[in-house]
Amino acid sequence: MFEMKVSVVIPVYNAEAFVAEAVRSALDQPQVAQVVLVNDGSKDGSAARCRELCAADARVILIEHPGGVNRGASTSRNLGVASSTEEIVAFLDADDRYLPGRFSEDERIYQEHSDAEGVYSAIGAFYHDEEGRRLFEQRFSDELTTVRVRVAPEELFHGLIGASRILDFGYFSLDGLSVRRSALERMPRLMRDDLVMGEDGEFLIRLAFHARLYPGSLNKAVSLRGVHAGNRVTRDPRWDLSRLRIYEALWEWADQVRLDPVARTRLRKDLLHYRLRCASTGGQRRKTIAMVLREPSVLRRQDTALAFVSVVFGNNGAAGRLATSTVKGLFAMLWRIRGRTPPKSARATATR
């Protein structure tokens, strides 16, 4: 009989107003045996609040980086994993919360599938303030963050990177994941501390390659993302550049593992897409144009074709407007010929 015991890792940075509710929601889960709070050099009263939570429940422990410095979300989560003790590890941000029954489906899957190394489920959203709601709705198309189809563990990685034939595959969030410690220990690298944004999404893609992850509750949220004006993802002023950094990191990793040709091609096309979107100097523009001419198949994707037009003709002027209008018209005609509608635009990945 499998008895699920979970360590929940919560990085804490200036979350005095939120962390107590996050911890309470974790401790309410019968499977949670430990909550690891990692104070990431907070400047507010978070450290004192965390000490209060530790004093109130022996399952809660508090750790900090040497010298009490700020090291970022990735390093904090990695430290939390290293300091945790239970076989199953889960994550929660300090401004988020688990819903009742958070690990019920996970426990069932671990019990029924001896090869399960992790379980991923949907997460929803709740709003701490109206400004957060406004910013969230500008960037995300749906409150529910989930993988939209059930696939076998060996199919998940290809789906997440867009290398499957499923147009609207979706993605999952760190708050919806539980994972065996043995799978994390087998990873060549946990979360990258050189990524300022999207570090969790990049990690989940690599984890899907290295571990056998099973779908859990995909239609009903098990956790809620806390949305407020201070969320990093909705405040990122350089969104495309952040995405470029993610794909550069994935391409670096791809050179270290045995990826099949389809997956490598998909990652290379996404990398080129964001290089197009981020090309700002004359040299960058010429380099990306040459790359596209060597691999013109990338222009089958509408947003890549529009980015290419922008690099070639610029965003202003009659030529640029005409080229943009022509590309949009051609793609609209192609979708009509196929008798289908375009896939939803994934405006953002579930990252802070």
Residue with the larger pLDDT of the pair 137 and 200: 200
Average pLDDT over residues 274-288: 88
**Is residue 186 located within the same domain as residue 277?**
no
Q: Are strands 177-180 and 118-120 parallel, antiparallel or unpaired?
A: antiparallel
Q: Give the pLDDT band (50/70/90) at residue 352.
A: very low
Q: Give the pLDDT band (50/70/90) at residue 348.
A: very low
* CA-to-CA separations, 45 to 35, 39, 52, 201, in angstroms, rounded: 19, 11, 11, 29
Asked which of 135-139, 178-182, 232-236 is least confident by mean pLDDT, the reply is: 232-236
pLDDT tens readout for residues 176-232: 999 999 999 999 999 999 998 899 999 999 999 999 999 999 999 999 998 887 776
| pLDDT score recorded for residue 166 | 87
How far is 228 from 165, CA to CA, in rounded Å? 35
| pLDDT score recorded for residue 214 | 98
With beta carbons less than 8 A apart as the criterion, state whether 321 and 314 touch: no
Q: Give the pLDDT band (50/70/90) at residue 342.
A: low
With beta carbons less than 8 A apart as the criterion, state whether 245 and 277 touch: no
| pLDDT score recorded for residue 132 | 77
* CA-to-CA separations, 250 to 189, 190, 245, 266, in angstroms, rounded: 12, 13, 9, 11
| pTM for this predicted structure | 0.88
In a domain, 349, yes or no: no
Written as one string, the DSSP assignment of 293-322 is HH-GGGGGSHHHHHHHHHHHH-SSSHHHHH
For 273, the token pair is 């897409």
Where is 290: in which H helix or E strand?
helix 282-294
Domain extent for 327: 240-338
In a domain, 343, yes or no: no
How far is 158 from 261, CA to CA, in rounded Å? 11
Residue 233 pLDDT > 70: no
Q: What is the CATH number of the domain that holds 187?
A: 3.90.550.10
**Is residue 177 located within the same domain as residue 189?**
yes
Q: Give the pLDDT band (50/70/90) at residue 346.
A: very low
Order of strands across the sheet that contains 223-227: 97-98, 223-227, 123-127
Strand, coil or helix: 88: strand
- β-sheet bridge partners, residue 180: 88
Single-letter amino acid, residue 312: V
**Boundary residue ending a domain (203, 221, 236):** 236
With beta carbons less than 8 A apart as the criterion, state whether 38 and 191 touch: no
* Backbone region of residue 170 per phi and psi (left: phi > 0; alpha: psi in -120 to 50; beta: other values): left
In a domain, 1, yes or no: no
Number of domains in the chain: 2
**Is residue 151 located within the same domain as residue 283?**
no
Residue 345 pLDDT > 60: no
**Is residue 159 located within the same domain as residue 58?**
yes
For 144, the token pair is 């529910």
Residue with the larger pLDDT of the pair 34 and 141: 34
How far is 263 from 109, CA to CA, in rounded Å? 28
**Is residue 214 located within the same domain as residue 270?**
no
**Boundary residue ending a domain (182, 213, 236):** 236
Residue 33 C-beta-side C-alpha neighbours within 13 Å: 11
Percentage of the chain exceeding pLDDT 90: 66
With beta carbons less than 8 A apart as the criterion, state whether 226 and 97 touch: yes
pLDDT tens readout for residues 10-68: 999 999 999 999 999 999 999 999 999 999 999 999 999 999 999 999 999 999 999 99
Q: What is the mean pLDDT of the chain?
A: 90
Average pLDDT over residues 294-302: 83
**Boundary residue ending a domain (183, 207, 236):** 236
pLDDT tens readout for residues 73-91: 999 999 999 999 999 999 9
In a domain, 122, yes or no: yes
